[in-house]
Structure 1
């Protein structure tokens, strides 16, 4: 870690292509602002491996807003060369928050690393970069975000690619436990199998509509339920929307607005208080 920091300080952009780690970038950033005491504190945080702490100590090197712009330019250049380091780079930028709009810089970095379409695809149905900044500040991964919506009460909700839990890395289908996001929904509720190995798309079956074999329609349905569904008064992370006389979609959110999972439920089997709010 320390070696990469000092190489970054000495080589800067000249060696950035060959050094794909956050410590090199920190050295590059710090090289123009060295003061001994601050450098000592920064070095200590580097050796601890605490990226957020590195950002806080890096702030000591950056005396003014003009210099902060230099820092964000370096971070943008570095992430453009190594887009896989976007997330730790943005964590580091949190330490510069008093002077830098780190959410805006994250959006700029994604545009630079992945093209404008990586951001523009999320800007629909009234969603602006302001809502994307909320996702970022709530610890969402914008580069892996698939959809964003906003409820009438102002709550921003987003769906990410997600991750599998118990089904991760297995060679044949198993019911996933512990996963979240779109990949988890697909595994359990679109391509789930019964004991005979028959695949059941729960959404198409619940709505009795083969159009919902289209995953994009399922995704749209889920986001609409998250946006317009009724919040469960007894469980604040659940949202419900009636989609047929017999079925409702249940959406499960994290407290920050991250969409964890969603799937159809039979209304007759729901708790009484849920049946009441769906009537």
Structure 2
């Protein structure tokens, strides 16, 4: 079925990527057999045309970044590997929000080394640290941008008010919030991003929901001859042209299933039924 949506988006107006990316969070670096499978999946994603891969300092405390570099460096010219900073590991092993300027600078330098690049084309603040002034956090990212270590700046898990406040300090080109067919808490944030032309990267883009809602999604999938996962991703792609889902998987079969959603057109009647689902 032919898609009625655009298949690419220009982040920040100039960085063109395919609209369905890959979340690398579940790609593990150990043990050895799992690492080999993770490397193979990352390479297969690029072979299948994925041009946006999302990672973070938090994922294995840098091990995920190193894994992607091992799999894909030197990177294809059209591939964007975006990472996130702003969470640190405490001596206890626990993670905490940490937007102190010295921490952000250190994590960027570490990401540059691990990813084997001179500039991170899209750097996202993993969470806003409530204990550090936002001006200090984003001011540090702006300075890193001026120094050439960062190309573009994004945010993750923010409200509309926080997005507005951040945009007074830096040019925000992306927002990464939890969002899917059955979890639309951040509808206002997505609408704000749509109005401003800001890329919206929903994490956890496929949800299970309640049994009744699953039944309705399954019914639509059966009618179209596709999977419920593909329906959920197609709904996201149709929701707004700024939406760039980043489903995470460790299965090549699931990867191929996900990417096939870019060619799925949701007829209006099915779309209306999905829109009417009761969501949390």
TM-score, structure 1 as length reference: 0.29
TM-score (norm 2): 0.29
Q: Which structure has more helix as a fraction of its residues? A: 1
Instruction: Specify the structure having the higher radius of gyration (Cα).
Output: 1
